[in-house]
Chain A
Amino acid sequence: MAVPRRTFLKGGLSAAAGLWANLSFQSCSRGRSRDASGTEADAVPKRWAMAVDLEACTAAQGCRECIAACHQIHNVPDFGNDKDEIKWIWTAPTNKVFPENERLFPDEMAAASPVPVLCNHCDKPPCVKFCPTGATWKRDDGIVMVDFHRCIGCRYCMAGCPYGSRSFNWKDPRPRIARVNVEFPTRTKGVVEKCNFCEERIGQNLSPACVIACPENALAWGDLNNPASAVSRAISARTAIERQPELGTGPHVFYLI
């Protein structure tokens, strides 16, 4: 009687483990194949990137057009305080954005000068590694996505991101949206969100809202794999730096100094 029981237990546990491994694998491969919708197989795959021209940007003079445009079309709520705030793109002082590059900005005024920051859509995104449900993943074209329906709100991705690019909905955002854009989903409380590189606009062959909104054309954007794109030309013409490159994340938002 002892042997069949043991065998049953072994078989049962193996079956359960196999089933779970299979389901996990399915969810992983589903994640990998969640591509940009509707694209045909390109000869050279696209890799979206952005370059911020720090000389052209007039954030220091109070310009916030990119932020206003992004937050308006993506239904980003305004809670009016630092605790609950959600921001997809915002400005931060230069010496905080590039803390290890102090020597590039010795002037005190330059050090405090605001710089636009957003999700870097890294090549090796730490947030994707840490998400326990695969609710965030990297598309083949480089955009790091968030699935607002699968997210359980554990905020581990926020712990993984070294740039602080992600925000969490601490409260119901809907009452705090000034004017709802019905063409983009609103979120619920309890999920994480961040810049999505305007993937819904890219899908319609449009440029990201921040790029279009900038009155100084300080944001260059495009396919890094295409040498003729605006971003490729921008970073080959000037010195371009990344945020904290030593971390090995491979950010794809460059800053032209």
Chain B
Amino acid sequence: MTTFDDHPRPAGHVPGEDDSALIEHIGKTGRPFYLTLAVLAFFVLLAAAAYLHQYRNGLGVTGLSRQIFWGVYITNFVYFIGISHAGALIAAILRLAKAEWRRPITRAAELITVLALSFGVLNIVVDLGRPERVLNLIRYAQPLSPLVWDIVAVTVYLSASSFYLYLSLIPDIAYLRDRGTKPRWFYQSLALGWRGTERQLGFFKKSSGIMAILVIPVAVTVHTVISFIFAMTIQPMWHSAVLAPYFVVGAIYSGIACLIIAMAVVRFAFRLQNYVKPAHFNNLGILLLVMALLWLYFTLVEHLTAAYGGEPNHLVVFWSKLSGRYSLYFWAMALLCFGIPFVILCVRKFRTILGTSIASAAVLIGMWLERYTIIVPTLTTQRLALGRPLYFPTWVEWSILAGCLSFFVLLFILFTKLFPIISLLEIKEGRDEAVADFRVRLKSYFPAEAPGSSGIDNGGESQFNEHPS
């Protein structure tokens, strides 16, 4: 089975004969699909019922109270927007770093970004007391409010990511159109007349490059601004400058974890073993390890400075997390966010697909707990709290969380029924151009060789020969 070949491709891309696996999952609906659909749809409908109940009867149907007025929904909001950083990192940063192994995973990463952002925003609307007045946020936007900055930042990020996702889809949609995939009108109209001409490809490459660069500062800004929602208040253990980089790191951390699990599932479900290799999970696992260490760093910095400073306001919150009311959540978070992932990811032998998936699952649960233990303990213990009331989320809040997660997965799956989950153009580009590009780059920073020697120019020895990665 050839994975690379030396014949130059025509400008309009056509995947190789053996690449049928890349599009086999499109339009294919069997028993497993309908079963999954049914389970997910159940939770989505449950969440809808829960929200209707809340809309009719007020937010009092949740566990929230006068003292602890932000809880699961705001946690979800920060959590989902955190996960959206998968796209910014993989699609953008790795692209700029010219890491070729990113090619099969960019599409999934961008898709996760768009979906996660949408669910983040949805949770804010769910949390509003008067959601029908949500447009007041636009009509009467008060520019000093971090929530308004947040709206601007998230809107820009969502628009940019959606555009980036769609842009990268166009060549693949055109391919499906040319192949006659049904419904024809769907792929016809979405392809926007893409013919794969030199000019279109040039425009495509340039736009992708620009978008990749733009998305990075936007992504950093988004999660910084989200941290400002808490950091700009004068509440103990919220009002901290370190919250901004802490949130950004946490976002990238949970984003990579989500991506690993998505790729593992996709690889298994759609039999894409040829394209998503153990090496990908090894590399993603190393990135996850780096983020785990960064996460630990910021967690330690935040808690040590609060504890050492010894301000009574801060200490009350600090101790409630370490040994008090919230110690169970806090230490579970520490175990899930660092303990388990670190042990797994440190050892090369464990950085397998299964190993990184387990680590990622732990991270995804742990990061939700992390957001929870940032938000709720501060509200519980400060401001005349007299030991009541505790916060116990109700079925409404849990249903909405379950519904959001299910709907997220559902939309992801529906996407794979319509579009390739691995970018065809990325694979083609990887095959056609990556080796040549790589050779040119190597030459630019390796010393020149004597003529006749085996080296970069002359096909090279094995370490410079192409290998299917």
Hey, which bits of chain A sit against chain B, CB under 8 A? 20, 23-24, 27-28, 31, 81-87, 92-93, 96-97, 99-100, 117, 126, 129-135, 150-156, 158-160, 162-164, 167-172, 188-192, 247
Contact = CB atoms under 8 A, between A and B. Distances in A.
A117 B136 CA distance: 31
Given A27-B140, A133-B137, A170-B59, A155 B69 contact: yes
B128 A152 contact: yes
A99 B142 CA distance: 33
10 contacts: A82-B389, A92-B386, A132-B141, A134-B140, A135-B140, A152-B134, A154-B124, A155-B70, A159-B69, A168-B129
Contact of B66 (A85, A135, A247): A85
A248 B170 CA distance: 55
A99 B141 CA distance: 35
B10 interface: no
Interface stretch (B144-152, B280-288, B407-415): B144-152
Given A169-B58, A171-B58, 14 more contacts: A20-B141, A23-B141, A27-B141, A31-B142, A129-B145, A132-B141, A132-B145, A133-B140, A151-B130, A162-B235, A162-B383, A164-B384, A171-B57, A190-B130
Nearest to A150: B136
Contacts of A82: 65-67, 388-389
Interface residues of B, number: 46
A126 B234 contact: yes
B381 to A, nearest CB: 12
Among B64, B130, B146, B233, the one with the most A-chain Cβ atoms within 10 Å of its Cβ is B130
Among A83, A84, A126, A135, the one with the most B-chain Cβ atoms within 10 Å of its Cβ is A83
Contacts of B57: 171-172, 189
B204 to A, nearest CB: 14
B147 A172 contact: no
Contacts of A191: 129-130
Interface in B39-86: 57-60, 64-67, 69-70
B65 A133 contact: no
B202 to A, nearest CB: 12
Interface string B273-303: 0000000000000000000000000000000
Contact of B60 (A129, A154, A162, A170): A170
B7 interface: no
A152 B145 contact: no
Nearest to B152: A20
B411 to A, nearest CB: 26
A170 B140 CA distance: 24
A159 B386 contact: no
Given A82-B66, A83-B66, A190-B59, A169 B129 contact: yes
A151 B129 contact: yes
B31 interface: no
